C-alpha cells in the first residue's frame, strides 16, 4: 500500500506555484523524510496530503487511494503541524478529552502512560508547558489516535537537543511497535540519515529526488581523481555534481547500482545522505526519481567500457 | 567501539550470563546482554556498525549462543534510528548464520565466530609490527598509516567480494532491491 | 525498494461512519466556556436588574391605574411618579447594543481564533471532519445565544408591558407606538432574531477576516449598519402604509410622513412660509381657548382654503405582522450567512 500517491500535484498562491508537477509514491512501513530548503514547498505538500488544502492541479490520495481530506483519510492520518498547535488555555487533560471526542480511536492508557513517563501533569495548562513538552503532548495525542500514517511538519525545529532526541525516539518506537508509517519534513539533513529510510527532496516546488534511502545510496558514489583527466572520464558518467580543485576533482555520480571499477588514479567512495542531498540541491536541473533513468545509465556504462 | 555491560532492565526473563553469581534473590534481569552504541563519526552505515558490534561482542565473549539481541524497539528507542536499520542488521547476522529470529520472542545468537587460532594471531601481529616499523621509518605519521591501511583493506575487500559474487562491502551496497 | 519494510498496520475499512454529533457538545462548551459564561453573567445580572426595577414599575403602574377619579390631583401625582420612573430605560435604546455584543463576542472568535492561532491545523485534521465540526459548533452556539436572547426578551416584554396596555394612552401616558424603533426590537421574536443575525455576521466575519479583534469590530460595524437600515427605513415599509385624511391619527401608530394636497394633487410637505403669510396670517396672541395650538390654527386655516392633510402611518395592530416579517428575513439572512460560512470553511485553505 502506498501511504501517499501524488500525481502531477500542484498548488498555486496567486500567481506563484508553491508546488508543481509533484508525482510521488511513498510506500507504507517506512519513515519518509521530506527535505528541502525553506520555501521549497514542504509545508504545502504536507498540507495537501492531510487535506488542509485543496490542490490547484493534479491529485493526491492517501492510505491506498483514499482522497486526501476525506473522513476515512482523516481517520487514518494524524498530523502535527509546525509549532505544534494546541489550545493554549486548555489543560492537558482537556486536550486529551478533546482529542478523544473528535476521533474514532483513542488509546487512553497509552497516552496517560506516556505523559506520566514524560512528567507532564494532567491539570497543567498547555501554555505553561515547555516547548519540548508541548511537542511531546501533541505527538502523544497524535499517536493515541492509532493512526496508520503520522505526518510531522518540521517537528523538531524549535526543540533543544534533548527534547529532539526524546521526540524522535517516541516517533521511531511507535514505528517499530505499531508499524505506523511516518512522513516528516525537515530542513536539517544531518540527523535524517539515521532516521529515514525513504527520502523525498523538494527544491523550488519540484521533487528532485524520491526513493528508498538504501537504493539511493547504492546508486550514487563519489569518484575522485586528477582534474586533468576529469573531462575525459566524466563523459560516460551521469554526473550529478562536480567539485573541482586545481589538481583534484570530485564527481558525485549516479550509477545503476553496480560497483564498476574506476580507472587507475581514481578512487570511488560511498556517499552519505547529507552529501547526496546537498549535491542535488546545488544542481536544480538534476533529478533522481524512480523510473526510466536506470536504462540510460546501463547504456552509458556499457558504452564506457 | 565499545560494548556496554548490561544493566538490569525490568523486562525480559533470562538472567544475563554476566550477572550470574550476583546477589541472591535479585529478580530475573536483562532482556539482552549487550547495548548498542553508534559512532556518528565513523563513515560506516548504521546497520553495519550494529553488525560489527555483535561480532565484536561474540569475539570477546560478551555474547554466547542462546543470548538474546536487543529488541528492535529498545534499540530504536535508545539509538533513535530507523527500525528497518535494526531489522537489516539482524537479517545480515542471520544471513551469516550468527543469529536467528524466534517469532514473538526476538532475535537470538545461534553460533560463534570462527577465530583464527592463537599462533596465527601471534604471527600476524609480528608481521604487522614489522610493517608499522617500516612505515614509520618512511616518515608516515599515525593518520597516514591508518589511511594507507584502510585504503588497501578497502581495495582488497572490493576485489575479493566482487569476485565472490555477493557483495558485503564496506560501502553498504547490499543488493536487496528488486531490480 | 527495500524488502525490509516494517510490517505496516493492517488495512482498515475504507468507508467510515461519521462520528456522533453529541461529541461536539462537550467540545463546544469547553472551548467557548469563557464567552458563554460572560454572556450568561451579563444577561443574568441585567435580568436581575430588570426584574427589580420592573417590579417597582409595575407596582407604580398598578397604583396609578387603580386610582379614581382619573384627573384628581392625587391620581395625577401617582401618574406622574409612574411616568418619571426609569426614564433612561423608557425608550429602549439602552438595550440596543445587547444583540450586537452577544453576537460579536461569541460569533466572531469562533472561527477567527482558530485561524489566527493556527489551531485549525489541529481541529480540522481530527477524525470529526472540518465541515461537521463547524456545523456542530455553529448550530450549538446559535441555538444557545438565540434561546438566551429570547428568554431575556420575554423579561423585557414583561418590563415594558405597562406602557403598552391598551387604554392607558390618553389617561396618563403619552402615546407610545409599539412599532417605534427602540421598543419594537425588544419584544416579540425580533430581539432573539437580531441576536442570531449578529452571531451569523460574526461567524462569517471571523472566517473572512481570520483575526479576532478585527472580526469583532467588523461585526459590530456591520450589525450597526443593518440595524440602522432596518430602523430608519425597512421597518416602515414591511406592509404598505395606510393613508388617512383623519387628523387624529392614534398615538400608537407609527407615523411615517405627512403632507398636504389640494384637489387630489400633491401640494407640499410642510406649508411654505410665504403661503402662510399670505393666506393664514398668525392670529392675535391671546385669541382662542386654552388648548388651541399653532399647528391646529394653521391646519384649520389651510383646510378652509381647500388643502387636505394626508398622513401615512402604520397602525399598532400590525405589530405582530411586522414582528414576523422582520423575524423571518433576519432568520433567512442568518441561515444564509451560516451556510456561506460553512461553505467557506470547506473551501478555505490552510
In this structure, the answer to whether residues A31 and A178 fall within a common structural domain is yes
In this structure, the answer to whether residues A77 and A40 fall within a common structural domain is yes
Q: Return the C-alpha cell found at B151.
A: 585504503
Partnered with residue A288 across adjacent β-strands are A209
| pLDDT of C329 higher than 50 | yes
Nearest CA in chain C to B178: C1
- Distance, in Å, from the CA atom of A257 to the CA atom of A220, rounded to the nearest integer, reads 7
Q: Which chains touch B (3 or more CB pairs under 8 A)?
A: A, C
Q: Which chains touch A (3 or more CB pairs under 8 A)?
A: B, C
Q: How confident is the model at residue B17 (pLDDT cuts 50, 70, 90)?
A: very low
In this structure, the answer to whether residues C63 and C190 fall within a common structural domain is yes
- Distance, in Å, from the CA atom of A238 to the CA atom of A251, rounded to the nearest integer, reads 9
Chain A residues within 8 A of B175 when measuring between CB atoms: 218, 257
In this structure, the answer to whether residues C129 and C105 fall within a common structural domain is yes
Give the least confident one: A263-272, C76-85, C249-258, C285-294.
Answer: C285-294
Check: CB of residue A182 under 8 Å from CB of residue A152: yes
Domain span at residue C312 reads 242-283+292-316
In this structure, the answer to whether residues A222 and A199 fall within a common structural domain is no
C23 assigned to some structural domain = no
In this structure, the answer to whether residues A165 and A232 fall within a common structural domain is no
C6 assigned to some structural domain = no
Partnered with residue A12 across adjacent β-strands are A17
Nearest CA in chain C to A153: C121
In this structure, the answer to whether residues C205 and C256 fall within a common structural domain is no
Beta carbons of A176 and B80 less than 8 Å apart? no
Check: CB of residue C58 under 8 Å from CB of residue C162: yes
| pLDDT of C174 higher than 90 | no
A209 assigned to some structural domain = no
In this structure, the answer to whether residues A200 and A238 fall within a common structural domain is no
Q: How confident is the model at residue A294 (pLDDT cuts 50, 70, 90)?
A: very low
C213 assigned to some structural domain = yes
What's the whole-number mean pLDDT along residues A62-81? Answer: 92
In this structure, the answer to whether residues C93 and C232 fall within a common structural domain is yes
What's the whole-number mean pLDDT along residues C283-294? Answer: 58
In this structure, the answer to whether residues C217 and C299 fall within a common structural domain is no
CA distance B87 to chain A (A): 10
Assigned architecture for domain B17-109:
Orthogonal Bundle (1.10)
pLDDT at B24: 43
Nearest to A215 among B46, B171, B177 (CB): B177
Quote the percentage of chain A above a pLDDT of 70. 94
In this structure, the answer to whether residues C80 and C39 fall within a common structural domain is yes
In this structure, the answer to whether residues C228 and C156 fall within a common structural domain is yes
pLDDT at B114: 63
In this structure, the answer to whether residues C335 and C305 fall within a common structural domain is no
In this structure, the answer to whether residues C305 and C180 fall within a common structural domain is no
pLDDT at C303: 77
CA distance B177 to chain C (A): 5
| pLDDT of C257 higher than 90 | no
Q: Return the C-alpha cell found at A165.
A: 532526541
pLDDT at A300: 43
Residue of higher predicted confidence among B170 and B78: B78
Residue C36's contacts (CB-CB under 8 Å, 6 or more residues apart) are C29, C106, C141, C144
In this structure, the answer to whether residues C276 and C129 fall within a common structural domain is no
pLDDT at A125: 93
Give the least confident one: B24-28, C6-10, C221-225, C273-277.
Answer: B24-28
Residue of higher predicted confidence among A273 and A292: A273
Give the least confident one: A62-71, A117-126, A193-202, C253-262.
Answer: C253-262
Domain final residue, candidates A204, A231, A258: A204
CA distance C49 to chain A (A): 32
In this structure, the answer to whether residues A175 and A251 fall within a common structural domain is no
Beta carbons of C5 and B83 less than 8 Å apart? no
Chain B residues touching chain C at CB-CB below 8 Å:
83-84, 87-88, 91, 176-178
- Distance, in Å, from the CA atom of A144 to the CA atom of A105, rounded to the nearest integer, reads 8
CA distance B81 to chain A (A): 5
Domain final residue, candidates A149, A171, A204: A204
Q: How many residues does chain B have?
A: 179
- Distance, in Å, from the CA atom of A67 to the CA atom of C15, rounded to the nearest integer, reads 11
| pLDDT of C106 higher than 90 | yes
Q: Report how many domains make up chain A.
A: 2
Which range of A212-216, C84-88, C296-300 scores highest in mean pLDDT? It is A212-216
Q: How confident is the model at residue B7 (pLDDT cuts 50, 70, 90)?
A: very low
In this structure, the answer to whether residues C308 and C327 fall within a common structural domain is no
What's the whole-number mean pLDDT along residues A241-267? Answer: 82
Domain span at residue A6 reads 2-204
Q: How confident is the model at residue C40 (pLDDT cuts 50, 70, 90)?
A: very high
Chain A residues within 8 A of B11 when measuring between CB atoms: none
User: Concatenated DSSP letters for A125-193?
Assistant: BGGGS-HHHHHHHHHHHHHHT--SEEEEESTTTT--HHHHHHHHHHHHHHHHHH--EEEEEES--TTHH
In this structure, the answer to whether residues A126 and A267 fall within a common structural domain is no
C20 assigned to some structural domain = no
Task: Select from A28, A29, A67 the least CA-distant residue to A48.
Answer: A67
Output DSSP code: residue A10.
Answer: E
Check: CB of residue C50 under 8 Å from CB of residue C155: yes
Chain B residues within 8 A of C2 when measuring between CB atoms: 84, 88, 176-177
Q: Report how many domains make up chain C.
A: 2
- Distance, in Å, from the CA atom of A245 to the CA atom of B104, rounded to the nearest integer, reads 55
pLDDT at C3: 41
> Which residue ranges make up each domain of chain B?
17-109, 118-164
C2 assigned to some structural domain = no
Q: A194-246, pLDDT tens digit by residue?
A: 899 999 999 888 999 999 998 888 889 898 888 888 888 878 788 888 888 88
| pLDDT of A143 higher than 90 | yes
Beta carbons of C5 and A27 less than 8 Å apart? yes
CA distances from A58 to A67, A77, B63, C120, C291 (A): 12, 21, 55, 25, 85
Task: Select from A270, C315, C198 the least CA-distant residue to B44.
Answer: A270
CA distance C10 to chain B (A): 18
Beta carbons of B87 and C4 less than 8 Å apart? yes
pLDDT at B25: 43
Beta carbons of B177 and A257 less than 8 Å apart? yes
CA distance A236 to chain B (A): 22
Residue B142's contacts (CB-CB under 8 Å, 6 or more residues apart) are none
Beta carbons of C4 and B88 less than 8 Å apart? yes
Beta carbons of A79 and C11 less than 8 Å apart? no
Residue appearing with cell numbers 470553511: C345
| pLDDT of B91 higher than 60 | yes
In CATH, what number is assigned to the domain containing residue A85? 3.40.50.300
What's the whole-number mean pLDDT along residues B5-15? Answer: 40
C28 assigned to some structural domain = no
CA C280 to chain centre: 44
pLDDT at A287: 84
What's the whole-number mean pLDDT along residues C63-67? Answer: 78
Crossing angle of helices C130-164 and C23-31, in 10° steps, is 70
Quote the percentage of chain A above a pLDDT of 90. 50
Q: A76-100, pLDDT tens digit by residue?
A: 999 999 888 899 989 999 999 999 9
Nearest CA in chain A to C345: A52
Beta carbons of C127 and A71 less than 8 Å apart? yes
- Distance, in Å, from the CA atom of C125 to the CA atom of A49, rounded to the nearest integer, reads 11
Give the least confident one: A65-69, A112-116, B15-19.
Answer: B15-19
Domain final residue, candidates A151, A181, A204: A204
Q: B128-145, pLDDT tens digit by residue?
A: 999 999 999 999 899 999
Whether ipTM exceeds 0.85 = yes
Q: How confident is the model at residue B31 (pLDDT cuts 50, 70, 90)?
A: low
In this structure, the answer to whether residues A55 and A150 fall within a common structural domain is yes
From the candidates A176, A180, A190, A197, which should be mutated to test the interface with B, based on the most B CB atoms within 10 A?
A176
Residue of higher predicted confidence among C110 and C248: C110
Check: CB of residue C298 under 8 Å from CB of residue C271: yes
- Distance, in Å, from the CA atom of B94 to the CA atom of B108, rounded to the nearest integer, reads 10
pLDDT at A72: 92
Q: C214-237, pLDDT tens digit by residue?
A: 999 999 999 999 999 998 888 888
Q: How confident is the model at residue C7 (pLDDT cuts 50, 70, 90)?
A: low
Nearest to A270 among B38, B82, B171 (CB): B171
Ramachandran class of B12: left when φ > 0, alpha when ψ lies in -120 to 50, beta otherwise = left
CA distance A276 to chain B (A): 14
- Distance, in Å, from the CA atom of B127 to the CA atom of B124, rounded to the nearest integer, reads 5
Beta carbons of A194 and B85 less than 8 Å apart? yes
Task: Select from C293, C184, C315 the least CA-distant residue to C246.
Answer: C315
Question: Please, which residues 1-60 of chain C have a Cβ atom closer than 8 Å to chain B?
Answer: 1-6
C70 assigned to some structural domain = yes
Calculate the dihedral angle through the C-alpha atoms of C292, C298, C301, C306, rounding to the nearest 10 degrees: -140
Amino acid at each position: 500500500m502506498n501511504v501517499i500517491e501524488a500525481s502531477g500535484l500542484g498548488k498555486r498562491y496567486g500567481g506563484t506555484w508553491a508546488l508543481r508537477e509533484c508525482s510521488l509514491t511513498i510506500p507504507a512501513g517506512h519513515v519518509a523524510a521530506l527535505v528541502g530548503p525553506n520555501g521549497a514547498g514542504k509545508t504545502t505538500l504536507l498540507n495537501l496530503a492531510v487535506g488542509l488544502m485543496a490542490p490547484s492541479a493534479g491529485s493526491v490520495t492517501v492510505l491506498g487511494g483514499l482522497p486526501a481530506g476525506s473522513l476515512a483519510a482523516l481517520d487514518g492520518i494524524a498530523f502535527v503541524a509546525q509549532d505544534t498547535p494546541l489550545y493554549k488555555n486548555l489543560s492537558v487533560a482537556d486536550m486529551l478529552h478533546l482529542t478523544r471526542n473528535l476521533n474514532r480511536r483513542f488509546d487512553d492508557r497509552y497516552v496517560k502512560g506516556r505523559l506520566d513517563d514524560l512528567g507532564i501533569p494532567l491539570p497543567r495548562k498547555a501554555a505553561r508547558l515547555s516547548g519540548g513538552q508541548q511537542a511531546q503532548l501533541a505527538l502523544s495525542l497524535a499517536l493515541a489516535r492509532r493512526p496508520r500514517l503520522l505526518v510531522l511538519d518540521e517537528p523538531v525545529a524549535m526543540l533543544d537537543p534533548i527534547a529532539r532526541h526524546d521526540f524522535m525516539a517516541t516517533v521511531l518506537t511507535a514505528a517499530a511497535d505499531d508499524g505506523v508509517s511516518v512522513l516528516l519534513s525537515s530542513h536539517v539533513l544531518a540527523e535524517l540519515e539515521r532516521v529515514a529510510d525513504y527520502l523525498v527532496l523538494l527544491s523550488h516546488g519540484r521533487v528532485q529526488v524520491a526513493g528508498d534511502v538504501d537504493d539511493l545510496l547504492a546508486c550514487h558514489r563519489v569518484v575522485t581523481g586528477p582534474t586533468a583527466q576529469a573531462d575525459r572520464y566524466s563523459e560516460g558518467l551521469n554526473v550529478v555534481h562536480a567539485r573541482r580543485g586545481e589538481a583534484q576533482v570530485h564527481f558525485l555520480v549516479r550509477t545503476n547500482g553496480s560497483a564498476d571499477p574506476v580507472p587507475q588514479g581514481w578512487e570511488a567512495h560511498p556517499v552519505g545522505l547529507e552529501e547526496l542531498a546537498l549535491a542535488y540541491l546545488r544542481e536544480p536541473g538534476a533529478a533522481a526519481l524512480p523510473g526510466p533513468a536506470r536504462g540510460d545509465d546501463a547504456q552509458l556504462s556499457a558504452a564506457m567500457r | 567501539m565499545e560494548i556496554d555491560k548490561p544493566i538490569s532492565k525490568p523486562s525480559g526473563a533470562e538472567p544475563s550470563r554476566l550477572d550470574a553469581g550476583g546477589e541472591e534473590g535479585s529478580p530475573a534481569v536483562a532482556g539482552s546482554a549487550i547495548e548498542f552504541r553508534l559512532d556518528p563519526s565513523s563513515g560506516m552505515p548504521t546497520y553495519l556498525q550494529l553488525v560489527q558490534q555483535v561480532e565484536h561482542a561474540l569475539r570477546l565473549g560478551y555474547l554466547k549462543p542462546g543470548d538474546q539481541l536487543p529488541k528492535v524497539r529498545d534499540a530504536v528507542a535508545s539509538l533513535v534510528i530507523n527500525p528497518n536499520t535494526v531489522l537489516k542488521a539482524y537479517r545480515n547476522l542471520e544471513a551469516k548464520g550468527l543469529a536467528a529470529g524466534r517469532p514473538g520472542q526476538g532475535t537470538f545468537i545461534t553460533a560463534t565466530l570462527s577465530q583464527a587460532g592463537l599462533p596465527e594471531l601471534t604471527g600476524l601481529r609480528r608481521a604487522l609490527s614489522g610493517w608499522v616499523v617500516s612505515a614509520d621509518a618512511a616518515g608516515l605519521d599515525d593518520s597516514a598509516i591508518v589511511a594507507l591501511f584502510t585504503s588497501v583493506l578497502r581495495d582488497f575487500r572490493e576485489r575479493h567480494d566482487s569476485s565472490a559474487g555477493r557483495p558485503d562491502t564496506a560501502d553498504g551496497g547490499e543488493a536487496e532491491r528488486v531490480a | 525498494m527495500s524488502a525490509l519494510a516494517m510490517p505496516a498496520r493492517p488495512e482498515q475499512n475504507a468507508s467510515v461512519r461519521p462520528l456522533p454529533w453529541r461529541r461536539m457538545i462537550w467540545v463546544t462548551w469547553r472551548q467557548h466556556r469563557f464567552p458563554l459564561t460572560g454572556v450568561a453573567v451579563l444577561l443574568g445580572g441585567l435580568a436581575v436588574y430588570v426584574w427589580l426595577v420592573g417590579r417597582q414599575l409595575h407596582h407604580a403602574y398598578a397604583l396609578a391605574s387603580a386610582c379614581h377619579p382619573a384627573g384628581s390631583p392625587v391620581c395625577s401625582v401617582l401618574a406622574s411618579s409612574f411616568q418619571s420612573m426609569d426614564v433612561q430605560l423608557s425608550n429602549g435604546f439602552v438595550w440596543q447594543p445587547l444583540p450586537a455584543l452577544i453576537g460579536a463576542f461569541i460569533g466572531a472568535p469562533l472561527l477567527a481564533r482558530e485561524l489566527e492561532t493556527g489551531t485549525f491545523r489541529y481541529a480540522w485534521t481530527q477524525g470529526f471532519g472540518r465541515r461537521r465540526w463547524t456545523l456542530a459548533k455553529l448550530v450549538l452556539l446559535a441555538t444557545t445565544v438565540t434561546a438566551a436572547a429570547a428568554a431575556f426578551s420575554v423579561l423585557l416584554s414583561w418590563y415594558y408591558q405597562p406602557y403598552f396596555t391598551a387604554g392607558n394612552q390618553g389617561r396618563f401616558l403619552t402615546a407610545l407606538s409599539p412599532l417605534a424603533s427602540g421598543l419594537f426590537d425588544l419584544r416579540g421574536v425580533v430581539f432573539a432574531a437580531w441576536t442570531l443575525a449578529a452571531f451569523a455576521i460574526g461567524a462569517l466575519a471571523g472566517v473572512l477576516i481570520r483575526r479576532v479583534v478585527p472580526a469583532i469590530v467588523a461585526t459590530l460595524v456591520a450589525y450597526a449598519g443593518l440595524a440602522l437600515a432596518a430602523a430608519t427605513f425597512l421597518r416602515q415599509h414591511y406592509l404598505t402604509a395606510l393613508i388617512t385624511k383623519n387628523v387624529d391619527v392614534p398615538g400608537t401608530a407609527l407615523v411615517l410622513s405627512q403632507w398636504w394636497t389640494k384637489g387630489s394633487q400633491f401640494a407640499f410637505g410642510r406649508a411654505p412660509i410665504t403661503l402662510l403669510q399670505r393666506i393664514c396670517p398668525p392670529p392675535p396672541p391671546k385669541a382662542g381657548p386654552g388648548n388651541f395650538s399653532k399647528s391646529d390654527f394653521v391646519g384649520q386655516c389651510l383646510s378652509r382654503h381647500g388643502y387636505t392633510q394626508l398622513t401615512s402611518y402604520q397602525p399598532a395592530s400590525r405589530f405582530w405582522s411586522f414582528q414576523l416579517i422582520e423575524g423571518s428575513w433576519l432568520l433567512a439572512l442568518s441561515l444564509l450567512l451560516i451556510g456561506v460560512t460553512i461553505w467557506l470553511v470547506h473551501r478555505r485553505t490552510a
